[in-house]
Amino acid sequence: MNSSILTIGHLARQTGTKVETIRFYEKNGLLPEPSRTEGNYRAYEPDHLNRLSFIRRARDLGFSLDQIRALLALSDNRGQSCAAVDAIASEHRAEVEKKITDLMALKAELDRMIDQCGCGVVADCRIIETLSPLPSRT
Amino acid sequence: MNSSILTIGHLARQTGTKVETIRFYEKNGLLPEPSRTEGNYRAYEPDHLNRLSFIRRARDLGFSLDQIRALLALSDNRGQSCAAVDAIASEHRAEVEKKITDLMALKAELDRMIDQCGCGVVADCRIIETLSPLPSRT
DNA sequence: CGTGACCCTATAGCGAATACAGGGTCAATG
DNA sequence: CATTGACCCTGTATTCGCTATAGGGTCACG
């Protein structure tokens, strides 16, 4: 009837999402259940497309599905204070910062370990030695 | 009999590993099955402790269990060239570097998004707007 | 009518653990 | 000798965010 009704495949192509992922979002309460066609196909409306785009964008920014659920709920209450939104985003940013710090420390350790490797035999390998609890058993 | 025989709990405490995790490593072929006591308790020997310490150290450095399996196999063949060890470590370092790069780009985006937030109402929220596919529907 | 592209549900798998249910063992105490 | 409580056992389910099957049904085109 309506030319703006979309199948799940259309929605997938338009948002760069796999069909299975869309069904997964529905099952997990991120995307509302659409109505169905006679043949039991999901029939999506433009709102679904908007919502899915929102989800994908937030996922690309690394938000968890829980956080996205919260962001979606907030964005549906447009008169509320935006502080809660800011809190979620800032919390996420802090997590990202922590991950970066941790990974940089990790990389420094890996650098140290790898740079010591003279690439002889395993028995003399500094990498294995670094990992081993005792000086290499002879 | 032997004072150096350890229960799984001892092994756990000495390596900072959970008991369940040790059993998980055994089931997944990282830690060899120890012999059992009469009461069917696992009876670990010092070699197990060394091996588990190795695994934990490698995990702390972010190696995957697959990579650790390979490193353990290499460290058991002490006459082999150490190049394979270096390859695994370097591959891992490259992955870590990529993660850092990706997360820093992500953080930059989050920074941009969050700094725009005037913390008014959701309807005017720049964060929600950034995530939304269209300029906020009025 | 047949083909192929698409859709449906339900279930299992990934990595790396963690948690739990429902029991058995063991050493020490009363 | 019985009981307590700490420890151990197996087996299964859960986490996160998907992805991948299996085994079908629907639909438009030729």
ipTM: 0.84
Is the C-beta of residue A37 closer than 7 Å to nucleic acid chain D?
Answer: yes
Strand partners for A6 = A44
Domain annotation covers residue A114: yes
The distance in angstroms from the start CA to the end CA of chain A is 79
Strand partners for A44 = A6
CA dihedral A92, A98, A101, A102 (to 10 degrees): -120
Q: How confident is the model at residue A122 (pLDDT cuts 50, 70, 90)?
A: confident
The enclosing H or E element of B11 equals helix B8-15
- What would the mean pLDDT of B101-114 be, rounded to a whole number? 94
pLDDT at A136 > cutoff 50 = no
Residue with the bigger pLDDT between A9 and B82: it is A9
- The residue among B120, B114, B119 whose CA lies nearest residue B131 is B114
> What's residue B134's pLDDT?
61
Q: How confident is the model at residue A137 (pLDDT cuts 50, 70, 90)?
A: very low
Number of domains in chain A: 1
Q: Model confidence over A66-107: pLDDT tens digits?
A: 999 999 999 988 878 888 899 999 999 999 999 999 999 999
Alpha-carbon distance values, A14 to A25, A34, A46, B94, B109 (Å): 16, 17, 11, 33, 23
Put simply, the answer to whether A89 touches B114 (Cβ < 8 Å) is yes
Q: How confident is the model at residue A134 (pLDDT cuts 50, 70, 90)?
A: low
Expressed as residue numbers, the domain containing A52 is 8-131
Q: Give the SS3 label for residue A35.
A: strand
CB distance from B62 to chain A under 8 Å? yes
Domain annotation covers residue B21: yes
**Average pLDDT score, chain A:** 89
CATH of the domain at A117: 1.10.1660.10
Residue with the bigger pLDDT between B138 and A60: it is A60
Total length of chain B: 138
- The residue among B84, B82, B52 whose CA lies nearest residue B70 is B84
Domain annotation covers residue A137: no
Q: What residues 9-48 of chain B have any CB closer than 8 A to a CB of chain A?
A: none
Domain annotation covers residue A83: yes
Domain annotation covers residue B89: no
Q: What is the largest CA-CA distance in chain B?
A: 79
> What's residue B83's pLDDT?
87
pLDDT at B137 > cutoff 70 = no
Cα–Cα distance between B104 and A129 in angstroms, integer?
32
> What's residue A3's pLDDT?
63
**Of chain A residues 91-130, which have a beta carbon within 7 Å of strand D?**
none
Domain annotation covers residue B121: no
Cα–Cα distance between A87 and B133 in angstroms, integer?
21
pLDDT at B138 > cutoff 60 = no
Put simply, the answer to whether A119 touches B58 (Cβ < 8 Å) is no
The type of residue at A110 is: L
The enclosing H or E element of B43 equals strand B42-43
Structure tokens at B67: 């990579």
Domain annotation covers residue A60: yes
Domain annotation covers residue B138: no
